[in-house]
Amino acid sequence: MNAADLGLPVDVPSTALFTDQYELTMLQAALRAGTADRRSVFEVFTRRLPSGRRYGVVAGTGRVLDAVENFRFDADLIAFLREQDIVDEPTLEWLTSYRFSGDIWGYPEGEVYFPGSPILRVEGSFAECVLLETVILSILNHDSAIAAAASRMAASAGSRPLIEMGARRTHELSAVASARAAYVGGFTSTSDLAAGFRYGIPTVGTSAHAFTLLHDSERDAFQAQVDSLGSGTTLLVDTYDVAEAVRTAVEVAGPELGAVRIDSGDLLLVAHRVRDQLDELGATRTKIVVTSDLDEYAIASLAAAPVDAYGVGTQLVTGSGHPTCSMVYKLVARAQSADPKAPLVPVAKKSMGAKSSRGGRKWAARRPDEYGAAEAEVIGTGPVPPELVDRQLQVELVKGGEVVAREPLDAARERHTRVRGALPMSAVQLSRGEPVIPTEYL
């Protein structure tokens, strides 16, 4: 069974209340005013990248599609809205038959984005589009933040695999979403079984310090684990004395010991000492896994260390200091009337601060330089220049309310690796800097 294809809801039959109250009160007012049926275009974008980031990563698109499909107001939800006097009866009646019937276009999952990129475009009546704002932003802001952190960590790790281990550091549902986003960003496995079940992500895990402390000696603990899981298991060697633990681990499991894990101390120094010790003991193929509050900077600092894999938890599931992408969902065009043939009029918020936006339904393309590397993110509202027609970034995700672009998670992961590789080399530098390519408007 491929759980990724099940289209499972988040954890309840409906995602309709994963929203803010003002979405429903706007709906009520629009229904009364006769403007609810006006054809509208909403876009998701961010005005800036988090400080120091050179690119963003689109993640959560597949979860957005699931959320839109499961956005339904069943009898219990209608009863709750009525009891709380959230909206009036005509609005409740309208909600009972709610089904999104519009179109959604967007950057495919795993793609990168920059300030102003129209990451998602939602088209339909104002009423049906406005209700989706909160749940779409909730998913994209969270998942894209995790994927961006994961991408930076993957770039720092190079060819060494990364294990997502953050379930105990965040909300239980966020943990599953984080594991999914981390996989898109370049992680190879997760410790979270719910993520493995729901999305088919490879799962790993052996033992914690508690297992060693349970036994009368470290040798007894290692023996019990090897007896259960085989000599190819990973033994945790920093509960007491690392050097003694490594010696005991090889004595118990033999030179075919799969790996040792180091979870504390000066990882650079300890990794070198453990590698030398393993080699002296004949365990030349035993791998070294390091954990302990790693982030992209710590991973980069271990590039020259004899480390074979990294396990990352807290910093990953909190976006490595940037837990959101500050994406917004703005109305950029709307019809002059409810007539389906009424032309669209660009609309935009004007602000004296940094919250202004650009009106009009937008297309986006990425222009390459003469060497094939990305040179600029080009965004426009008029005709697409002929040289950019085949470089457009948005794909059709939902047509007439039906999902048309659901894909395996591995496709998004592979796309991200490919797209990140097409950015200028400075994209993966950890030093602070501006977006690696500029955004140009036509």
CA angle 358, 362, 363 (to 5 degrees): 140
Q: How confident is the model at residue 301 (pLDDT cuts 50, 70, 90)?
A: very high
What does the mean pLDDT of the chain come to?
A: 95
The Cα 290–Cα 271 span in angstroms is 8
Those residues with Cβ within 8 angstroms of residue 21's Cβ, 6 or more apart along the chain or in another chain: 86
Question: How many C-beta atoms surround the C-beta of residue 22 within 10 A?
Answer: 12
Question: How many C-beta atoms surround the C-beta of residue 2 within 10 A?
Answer: 9
Q: How confident is the model at residue 1 (pLDDT cuts 50, 70, 90)?
A: very low
Per-residue pLDDT tens digits for 123-157: 999 999 999 999 999 999 999 999 999 999 999 99
pTM across the whole model: 0.94
Tokens of 237: 């060697």
Q: Are 318 and 50 in contact (CB under 8 A)?
A: no
Per-residue pLDDT tens digits for 153-179: 999 999 999 999 999 999 999 999 999
pLDDT score of 6: 52
User: If DSSP states are collapsed to H, E and C, what string results for 363-377?
Assistant: EEEEEECCCCCEEEE
Per-residue pLDDT tens digits for 68-117: 999 999 999 999 999 999 999 999 999 999 999 999 999 999 999 999 99
SS3 22: helix
Query: Distance between terminal CA atoms of the chain?
Result: 47
Tokens of 52: 């120091």
